[in-house]
Amino acid sequence: MTGKMYDKVRSFKSLRGVEESIDLMFKSLKKPDLGVSEIAVSDSLHHFCAVHVLSRFDSPKYDKSAVDGYAVISEDVLSSSTTNPTVLRVIQEIRIDALKEKIRPLCNGETAIVYTGSPLPANSNAVVMVEDTKLEGSSVLVYRSVPQWLNVSRRGEDFVKGSVVVEKGVLIRPWHLAALLSTGSGKIKVFRRLRVGVLSTGSELKYSTSQNKSVIDSTKPLILSMSCEEFCEPVDLGVVEDDVEIISSKILEASSGVDAIVTTGGTSVGATDLVEEAVTKIGYSSVLFYGVRMRPGRPTGLALVQGKPVFMLSGYPVAAFTGFEVFVKPAINFLRGSKPLSYPVIKACLTRRLVKPVGVKAFVRVKVEKYYKGGFSVEPMRLTGSGLLSSLTRGNGLLIMEEGLEGYDEGESVDVLLFQPLEG
């Protein structure tokens, strides 16, 4: 029976603001040398591009027809109309796979049959759609005029040779992959995946037996999965008991094999404080902040161990979720030089009044729904309850309330971050 264990709780008196903590984080993080590997573009979906990839050629490679029809010299058909068609001589048919150098140039009064994608013959500068023509033997009647370059895909109009197709740091989505292939890249340099190690602390987790399965660690799997969704390689560092020495050596040991560590605090008193203490004991380490004026997620901290960031998150799943969103995600993107995959923001009207203490930034889980009058309604799930996973599984958004704010009125319009798509 002891009040000693409560000392740690009291040490939270010196809390930092969220923005101040984020600033500290960005000032201290150093980009690791992630290493680059070359892979087939066809395997590159959801990798991060390690270089600016340039187009190997003009794409299209030459002026191409954008429709099925007749390649013409636009001046030839200037006066064409339904009542006064121009007659042109069909001198060739150009297939899509025709070799440019084998195509005869057009002279005035001549035309060529082209298909969508066919290279245009030299001298031609427009295409008349087949619907506006009538073939008669080896001549064609053209019933309308076409301005220069009508129905033509100009050489290089998609990508000019040497222009950037995909920038360094971009997450490769299906259209990037297709654009890379279409501009001559068969292989691509991508960054090695960022390795995020996740360590649970808590004797109650370590020694949870089959007789006493009352304490289930859902926070580590949550953070491992969130790292996965951020296209990192999650590394399960296991569970350690509430012992400073053991936590210290585990973090030190793990730090050489990963790019960042996330610890989840277990649920013991002072468990996250133990991590802070453990980290402090390690050489070449420093605690940047510990304890943040946010809710949930007050016991959140960041240290550097051997140059690697160690995010100390709460053992409570929703508090850990918030800590991951606020600190780990931006850090991940900084470390690998990628653009953040931010959640979409939606404007919605509060279904009820929402108050919170001043001096703490709140991340309220909410449910956004389509409103009967059009627009969207937002129903707060719960202001407190950092252990309540149902606020995430039943909700779909985060409403962020700034530190200085006292609350919102019913009906007020607010911005919500959607972590799940809207239903319906």
Phi, psi for residue 361 in degrees, rounded to 5: -85, 125
Nearest to residue 251, comparing CAs of 275, 234, 273, 227? 275
Give the span between the Cα atoms of 415 and 424, in whole angstroms.
20
- 177 vs 350, beta carbon nearer its own copies: 177
CB neighbour list of residue 221: distance below 8 Å, 6 or more residues apart: none
At closest approach, how far in Å is the CB of 345 from its own copies? 8
- 77 vs 177, beta carbon nearer its own copies: 177
Give the span between the Cα atoms of 293 and 17, in whole angstroms.
5
- 75 vs 136, beta carbon nearer its own copies: 136
Residue 12 has what DSSP assignment?
A: G
Residue in the structure block whose two tokens are 């809207």: 422
At closest approach, how far in Å is the CB of 98 from its own copies? 9
Give the span between the Cα atoms of 166 and 49, in whole angstroms.
7
Are the CB atoms for 180 and 188 separated by under 8 Å?
yes
Give the span between the Cα atoms of 133 and 144, in whole angstroms.
8
- 175 vs 372, beta carbon nearer its own copies: 175
- 65 vs 248, beta carbon nearer its own copies: 65
Give the span between the Cα atoms of 364 and 400, in whole angstroms.
6
At closest approach, how far in Å is the CB of 171 from its own copies? 9
Other beta carbons within 10 angstroms of residue 55's beta carbon come to: 21
At closest approach, how far in Å is the CB of 48 from its own copies? 14
- 1 vs 404, beta carbon nearer its own copies: 1
- 150 vs 287, beta carbon nearer its own copies: 150
Q: DSSP string of 136-149?
A: ETTEEEE-S---TT
At closest approach, how far in Å is the CB of 290 from its own copies? 17
At closest approach, how far in Å is the CB of 284 from its own copies? 32
Phi, psi for residue 11 in degrees, rounded to 5: -65, -10
Task: Tell me how far apart the 2 most distant CA atoms of the chain are, in Å.
Answer: 105
Give the span between the Cα atoms of 407 and 98, in whole angstroms.
68
Tokens of 14: 């010196």
Are the CB atoms for 71 and 148 separated by under 8 Å?
no
- 129 vs 288, beta carbon nearer its own copies: 129
- 102 vs 256, beta carbon nearer its own copies: 102
At closest approach, how far in Å is the CB of 9 from its own copies? 5
- 309 vs 397, beta carbon nearer its own copies: 397
Q: DSSP string of 116-164?
A: TTPBPPTT--EEEEGGGEEEETTEEEE-S---TTTTEE-TTSSB-TTSE
Per DSSP, helices labelled H in 240-283 are 244-255, 271-281
At closest approach, how far in Å is the CB of 261 from its own copies? 18
Q: Could you give the C-alpha distances from 237 to 223, 243, 281, in angstroms and in order?
A: 12, 16, 20
Give the span between the Cα atoms of 355 and 32, in whole angstroms.
42
